[in-house]
Amino acid sequence: MSKIIRPAILVVLACLLLSAFGLRVSHPQSGLKSALGSASSSVAVYRHTSKVAKSDKIVVTTGIKDSDPALAIVINADKTSVDIQAGTTLQRVDTKNVQGKLILVLPFVGLILNVVGL
């Protein structure tokens, strides 16, 4: 197999395996940072749900142009809205904008996606 086709097949198989377990992959554009870099330089693996509790780390759509999706921490949650901290900003979003609970962050993988334009 060629040097391009084999890694592409492995990526597709990994995505199918993750989705079989109910996990999703996202490339966040803003939000929480870690010692290994910003959110936009990472890829997030999360479990789809809109039920969150205080202190959960989540992937969320904030509604702010060029910053969605974002990684955030839940400050407070009720049935209709969630108060989040995404980076240095505090914001209230509807529970329908919560994509899911963060499972894993893969640092530096997002740098490749930034170059490609995803």
What is the reported pLDDT for 57? 92
Report how many domains make up the chain: 1
Whether residue 45 lies inside any domain: the answer is: yes
Q: Is 37 exposed, middle or buried (0-12, 13-18, 19+ CB in 10 A)?
A: middle
Binned average pLDDT, 10 residues per bin, the chain of 118 residues: 77 79 81 70 83 90 83 91 88 91 79 56
Give the domain range for residue 89.
23-116
What is the reported pLDDT for 74? 93
Whether residue 51 lies inside any domain: the answer is: yes
* Total residue count of the chain as it appears in this document: 118
Distance CA(36)–CA(19), nearest Å, equals 26
CATH of the domain at 101: 2.30.30.140
What is the reported pLDDT for 54? 92
Strand partners, 31: 71
Contact 95, 80 (CB under 8 A): yes
Q: Say whether pTM exceeds 0.85.
A: no
